[in-house]
A and B are shown apart, each in its own frame.
Chain A
Amino acid sequence: MAKGLVEMTVRGTAWLGLAAMLVALAPQAKAAWPEKPIKFVLPFGAGGVADVTARILADKLSQKLNQRVVVENMPGPGGIAAARAVITAPADGYTMAWLPTAPPSASRRSRVFPSTLSGFCDGFDGGHLRSGLRGKRSIGVQDACRCHQGGERQSWKNEYRDNCRWQHTEPGAELFKSLTGLNIQIVPYKNSPDIVVALLRNDVQLMIDFLRRLPDRLRTKSCASSRVRVRNRRRFFPECRLPTRQASKVTR
């Protein structure tokens, strides 16, 4: 009995010795990335196009990399909070930034964004989205420009809200305001669903966002699309019968 115990102890020690040796060797062997979940920090709220896009890709990437890819929403001005959260994280590949179209933010926040941007190395790739103008009134870009060129300024007050301050839609809104000369107050929202509700409640009269938010509303004609300036809009949402640039006779 005693002999058996000794033998077991000796054998156990040998195993422990081998285990210790393996542990000692482990740091020298490079672990394959990823060995733990990866976090995508998204500078938008939940429910918007970027959020949906990120979650579709995160799901597939999880399968491809055999590791969970988790989306964390961190909306805020210009995506700066999200960007800072990433660049202050270890550069180990486990915290990544979902980059929105950053240049408008960079141009408007020149003192802040370049330093944030410089914290990033290369982006990986991305999807391309197209945004358009929609509103409950038909205020076409061409019409508004004509008023501006004729020296007339419309006196009605329109508000339109964009997705999140300093994201790409706000410079688009600013550009629209500048080109049309309309008296517009821009009010930022943090997520798309809230803007749709505000539009339907008539809190605002125009919104700039991605088309995906409104197909059902357009179909039931509770909202109307203003003129669209891209060539092949219809292939995304054929059911909405959105006018193309050619159909709208928009020339500029």
Chain B
Amino acid sequence: MISWNGVGVPKDTPKEVIDTMNKAMREVLAMSEVQEQLGKVGVIAKASTPEEALARLTADIKKWNDVVDKAGIPRK
């Protein structure tokens, strides 16, 4: 089972802010020092664009809804 983490901001956050943060995050995740630190806790550093992150989130929601239905996991 693969888990992922990301960063989100409220709607209507200025695009410049998102772009600036995304650029900084990409640079940080590309640092070998960071990759090494994250690797020690079992995390693979992999940056994405905001569009890719949203697509992943949307696809995973559908996937997990299907898993819950097929496995018969009760909804609480």
Contact = CB atoms under 8 A, between A and B. Distances in A.
B19 to A, nearest CB: 10
Interface residues of B, number: 58
B2 A123 contact: no
B44 to A, nearest CB: 5
B60 A125 contact: no
Interface in A13-49: 33, 40, 49
Interface in A70-101: 86-87, 89-93, 95-101
Chain A's interface: helix, strand, loop or mixed, by majority?
Answer: mixed
A171 B34 contact: no
A124 B3 contact: no
A30 to B, nearest CB: 9
A123 B57 contact: yes
Given A87-B10, A129-B43, A210-B41, A101 B5 contact: yes
A121 B39 contact: no
Given A87-B11, A98-B7, A128-B2, 9 more contacts: A92-B13, A99-B8, A110-B65, A121-B9, A124-B50, A126-B46, A126-B53, A130-B42, A172-B1
Interface of B: 1-14, 16-18, 20-22, 24-29, 31, 34, 37-51, 53-54, 57, 60-61, 63-65, 67-68, 71-73, 75-76
